[in-house]
Amino acid sequence: MTDFRNKVVYQIYPKSFKDSDGDGVGDLRGIIEKLDYLAELGVDYLWITPFFLSPQKDNGYDVADYTAIDPRFGSMEDFEELVNAAGKRGLKIMLDMVLCHTSDQHLWFQKALGGDETYRRYYILRDGRNKKGPEDPGEPPTNWQCAFGGSAWQWEPRLGKWYLHLHDVSQPDLDWTNPRVREELAGVVRFWKERGVAGFRFDVINLISKPERFEDDTEGLGRRLFADGPHVHEYLRELVASAGLEGMVTVGEMASTDLENCLLYTRPDAHELSMVFNFHHLKVDYRDGDKWALMEPDIMELKRLFAAWQTGMAEGGGWNALFWCNHDQPRIVSRFGDEKTYRKESAKMLAACIHLMRGTPYIYQGEEIGMTNPGYTSIDQYRDVESLNHYQILLDKGKTEGEALEILSVRSRDNGRTPMQWSEEPHGGFSEAEPWIPVAANFAEVNVASDLGEKDSIFSFYRELIRIRKEMPIVAEGGIWFLEEENPDVLAYERRWNNESLIVLCNFRRQYARLIKGCVSDYEKDGYRKRIGNYQGTGAGLRPYEVIVYHKVG
């Protein structure tokens, strides 16, 4: 069996996971403290987001030194202890590699600013348009917009050029057409591999290859022109060969990608990546595709997207990373579930929905206890550069402060970055000091200690889903067929492998839902046995946010 197919990955955002030294910021030793908890959950890999030296303009995704650990997170000795301690518990470490851009504080960019021609060629520099003289910067080279709002180009007098930054202005994009850049980055990956890292997640990796010609996007903000660029597959194959990644677990974050490219990224014979994240299913509550325009989730579109990607990747031999949450996404129980009346039921349903699909599931810290969005009511509570930028953009568009804050309370990346809620102690047991970002107000009710103390906890449900994946090859190896395709309330699918069948029925509504084809209990008449669910017993239909998983052999 391929190594990653029956494995589960747990994502740790170290800044918010556990503070061991009382400074209000999580750290590597805090992760070490909680390894027994993670081992009890049953996960296999710990994906740790960047803890490299960084000015923290984008919470560590602005890297100033790829091979140095930021002192606020610990030391190299702490990291080595983490690798060893995790290994003793059967846990492997996966690191987050940010290879599309650096911080503007990185030595490479600083040397470029100083006029070093070698390092100027590390970045994407262009002359402006409509220049009126040698001292005039002109206009940005293209109309591309960066991910956080505003132009993707920044004029830099010390360079005498505009530099490209597809993310924050402090994150200049690297020029992957330069072989020296590619070798430097492969060296970074080798550095961490030599220190015991067993897997890698590559941040926005499908943006590394820019188009041959830089021109305006007449239809959008530029993404369609610079995502999945002309040499991206070639660069990835080179990275795998140069860094010795063949056989290791790798996952790529894909921005604005498509199914065809993701098949190329993940087919075993392509030698690129083990699996990919795509985000199409997390845009079904974007009104007209605008993240900052709210609407209720379109469940029919969610079903269509899951069916297209699950069956398409299966037919083409590709592999999905399965996820609802990460450090860039709001909490799923607040988003597609019911964080008040049916928090536990909807948290369990959402977990089973993706954990039993074809792919490798990812759990984001706190998801396994049903953590919610914090419901911040003041802009002073936010820390995220994207959220702060878009708050002002929303005000400039005529939104009131209240309206803008309501949008941020639903959409902000900070919703997923609040401190892990370990107990009902002050600050949720995350730290003895005031955390770097406020803890959610419901930490006294929603926390690890209280969840573990319950007989039928969300944590125990996740643990059982992980056990099912490991004990039942049908989950890792089976094909997938979607059911109830015209049902606006129920997402359902069947997994088949050899002579086995697994039926997964998920009610995405807070009301009772019926099946279009027959009754739920009909499966039992056909010889199916209930394997797991979030309610006792079964009936003709599905109760609010109910999930039932049936299994049959023969």
pLDDT digits (tens, 9 = 90+) for 143-174: 999 998 899 999 999 999 999 999 999 999 99
459-476 residue pLDDT tens: 999 999 999 999 999 999
Residues 134 and 246 placed together within one structural domain of the fold? no
Instruction: Read off the pLDDT of residues 348-359 as tens digits, 9 standing for 90 and up.
Output: 999 999 999 999
Q: What is the pLDDT of residues 321-330, one digit of tens each?
A: 999 999 999 9
Residue 466 belongs to a domain = no
- Whether 142 and 253 map to the same domain: the answer is no
Q: Which residue range forms the structural domain that includes residue 538?
A: 476-553
Report how far residue 361's alpha carbon sits from residue 43's, in angstroms, rounded to the nearest whole number.
Answer: 10
Report the amino acid identity of residue 451.
D
Q: Which helix (H) or strand (E) holds 186?
A: helix 179-193
Residue 222: CATH number of its domain = 3.20.20.80
Q: Report strand pairing: 9-12 vs 360-364.
A: parallel
Residues 259, 279, single domain; the answer is yes
Give domain status of residue 170, yes or no: no
β-strands 92-97, 153-156: how paired? unpaired
Residues 6+ apart with CB under 8 A from 354: 322, 323, 324, 361
Q: 531 phi and psi, to 5 degrees?
A: -95, -40
* CATH code of the domain containing 488: 2.60.40.1180
Average pLDDT of every residue of the chain: 97
CB distance 175 to 123 below 8 Å: yes
pTM: 0.96
Please check whether residues 211 and 341 belong to one and the same domain: yes
Domain shared by 513 and 389, yes or no: no
pLDDT in tens, 238-286: 999 999 999 999 999 999 999 999 999 999 999 999 999 999 999 999 9
Q: How many CB atoms lie within 10 A of CB 156?
A: 19
Q: Is 315 a catalytic residue?
A: no
Residues 133 and 235 in one domain: no
Give the three-class secondary structure for 496.
strand
pLDDT in tens, 375-394: 999 999 999 999 999 999 99
pLDDT digits (tens, 9 = 90+) for 477-518: 999 999 999 999 999 999 999 999 999 999 999 999 999 989
- The CB-side HSE value for 27 (13 A sphere, CA atoms) comes to 21
Q: Which amino acid is at 136?
A: D
- Mean pLDDT score, 115-140: 94
Active site residue 203: yes
Same domain, 67 and 159: no
Residue carrying the six token digits 């946010």: 545
Residue 173 lies in a domain: no
User: Average pLDDT, stretch 308-318?
Assistant: 97
Strand order in the sheet with 153-156: 125-126, 161-164, 153-156
Provide the b/e sequence for 528-554 (b: ≥16 CB within 10 Å): beebbbbbeebeebbbbbbbbbbbbee
Residues 363 and 494 in one domain: no
Model confidence pLDDT, tens digit, residues 25-39: 999 999 999 999 999
* 530-551 tens-digit pLDDT: 999 999 999 999 999 999 999 9
What CATH number is given to the structural domain containing 116?
3.90.400.10
Burial 329-345 (b: 16+ CB within 10 A, else e): bbbbbbbbbbbeebbbb
Count of other CB atoms within 10 angstroms of residue 240:
20
Quote the CA–CA distance of 122 and 182 in Å, as a whole number: 10
SS (H, E, C) 405-458: HHHHHHHCHHHHCCCCCCCCCHHHHCCCCCCCCCCCCCCCCCCHHHHHCCCCCH
**pLDDT greater than 80 at residue 1:** no
* 13 inside domain: yes
Are 399 and 326 in a shared domain?
no
Residue 465: inside a domain: no
Same domain, 266 and 202: yes
Per-residue pLDDT of 183-233, as tens digits, reads: 999 999 999 999 999 999 999 999 999 999 999 999 988 989 999 999 999
Whether residues 496 and 542 share a domain: the answer is yes
The pLDDT value recorded for residue 2 is 52
Question: Rounded CA gap, 32 and 39, in Å?
Answer: 11
In the three-class reduction of DSSP (H, G, I as helix; E, B as strand; rest coil), residue 387 is classed as: helix
Number of domains in the chain: 4
- Please tell me the distance from the alpha carbon of residue 327 to that of residue 348, in angstroms, as a whole number: 20
Three-state DSSP state, 97: strand
**Is there a domain that residue 339 lies in?**
yes
In a domain, 227, yes or no: yes
Q: Which long-range contacts (CB under 8 A, 24 or more apart) does 265-268 make?
A: 265/206, 265/233, 265/236, 265/318, 266/313, 266/318, 266/319, 267/316, 267/317, 267/318, 268/2, 268/317
Q: How confident is the model at residue 134 (pLDDT cuts 50, 70, 90)?
A: confident
Q: What is the mean pLDDT of residues 78-94?
A: 98
> In terms of domains, do 124 and 250 share one?
no
- Asked, for residue 152, whether it belongs to a domain, the answer is yes
Rounded to whole angstroms, the Cα distance separating 330 from 391 reads 16
Which one of 203, 285, 367, 546 is the catalytic residue? 203
* Active-site entry in 253, 285, 384, 414: 253
Which pLDDT score, from 0 to 100, does residue 132 have?
A: 86
